[in-house]
Amino acid sequence: KKEQWHHPASARVRERERGEQRARLGKKRARNKERESAMPYESAPPFIIIVGAFCAMGGLQYLGNQIIYGKPKPMGQDEWDKKLIERDERLLEEARLKKEGPKPPSAYADLNKGRKWLGLF
């Protein structure tokens, strides 16, 4: 290609124009960057909503599972575990009986029904 001849002053003018153009582009990019950058408080609410929805769904699934299936059945118990369970039940029954005291004869039970109905004791 044949190079075109340019006046030396025109090269300086072109260089100055390019510098001004770069400066304008820099300011424009800075303005766009300010507009595009998201602040943390702007992105937090949607994130919290999404995480909260996942937690709520997991909690509902757990509750539904508990309602349908209840407490899981004990598995893999050996004789020692069974004996401990029997002992615990026996001790709890003894404690309950001590708390309630001896049961009165049925004649007294009938009297208590009348008193409770009248609101005396």
pLDDT in tens, the chain (121 residues): 566 666 666 777 777 887 787 777 777 766 666 666 667 778 888 999 999 999 999 999 999 988 888 877 788 889 999 999 999 999 999 888 888 776 766 666 666 565 555 555 5
Using an 8 Å Cβ cutoff, are 95 and 101 in contact?
no
3-class DSSP assignment, residue 47: helix
pLDDT on residue 86: 94
Distances (CA, A) of 48 to 20, 40, 57, 60: 45, 12, 14, 18
Does residue 24 lie in a domain region?
no
Domain of 94 in residue numbering reads as 76-121
Give domain status of residue 21, yes or no.
no
Burial class (CB in 10 A: 0-12, 13-18, 19+), 117: exposed
Answer whether residue 119 is part of any domain. yes
In a domain, 6, yes or no: no
Could you tell me if residue 1 is inside a domain?
no
- Structural domains of the chain, count: 1
Cα separation, 119 vs 111, whole angstroms: 12
- Angstrom distances, CA of residue 60 to CA of 5, 13, 47, 63, 72: 80, 72, 20, 5, 18
